[in-house]
Structure 1
Amino acid sequence: MSALPDELLVHTVLVEPAQGEGPFGMEYGEQVPVRCFVDDKRRLVRAATGAEVVSESTFYAPLDTVCPVDSRVTVNGRTTTVLASSRRDGGGLPVPDHLEVALQ
């Protein structure tokens, strides 16, 4: 497995992993800092529901990062929600394995 190079992980986001719906709405796990690379670029993505939505930012983190859809993420001082989370596993090929997370 080839990981993202440390020199690319120049940003830190705070992730509160979604744990599912509770009696009072969405429930989240403990907030954890994640070293990553943030790309503040508006783009069209397909959400978990299948709808096309606009993502304001994307971050790239180590593959073992826990950040499912609907998690809360604080990036660059704003708190937002995960629209899509995609595992990019090279399967042994010489490419960096990572998690790509599209944010609302």
Structure 2
Amino acid sequence: MNVPGWLLRHRITVEPYRGDSAYGPTYGPAVAVRALVAETVKTVRDKEGREVTSTAQIIAEPDLDCPAESRITLPSGRITRALNVAHHTAPGLPVPESVEVSAE
């Protein structure tokens, strides 16, 4: 069971991080995604395990392609990057599956 669509009230744009090249980071094509966005300040850990400050948290459907370092445009128009991504699953339990992205 996925997170109910009626909870995903915002539209964001995600450009999935694909790696680094000689010219800097490379990204996949931009994709519009329905999500629930909370722009609040929280302390989280990045992909290297360092404590960093997240200023936006995003809940989306479980098939979201958004690895750490992906570029995200929030509903406010602010462009940020994904610090860490958590996949919430509970096979066999009646709870919704989702992806939580903590953004810079």
- TM-score bracket for the superposition, by shorter chain length: over 0.9
CA RMSD of aligned residues (A): 0.6
- How far the C-alpha of 1:92 sits from its partner, in A, is 2.1
d(CA) in 2 for partners of 1:61 and 1:68?
13
Percentage of pairs with the same residue: 38
> Given the two structures, how large is their TM-score scaled by the length of structure 2?
0.97
- How far the C-alpha of 1:6 sits from its partner, in A, is 1.3
> Given the two structures, how large is their TM-score scaled by the length of structure 1?
0.97
SS of equivalent residue, structure 2 residue 93: coil
The amino acid across from 2:62 in the alignment is: L
SS of equivalent residue, structure 1 residue 37: strand
**Which consecutive unaligned segments of at least 5 residues does structure 1 have?**
none
The amino acid across from 2:90 in the alignment is: G
- Name the residue aligned to 1:92: 92
Matching of residues 33-72 of structure 1 within 5 Å: 33-72=32-71
- C-alpha offsets along residues 51-102 of structure 1, whole Å, 9 cap, x if unaligned? 0000000000000010000000000210001000110011221111000000
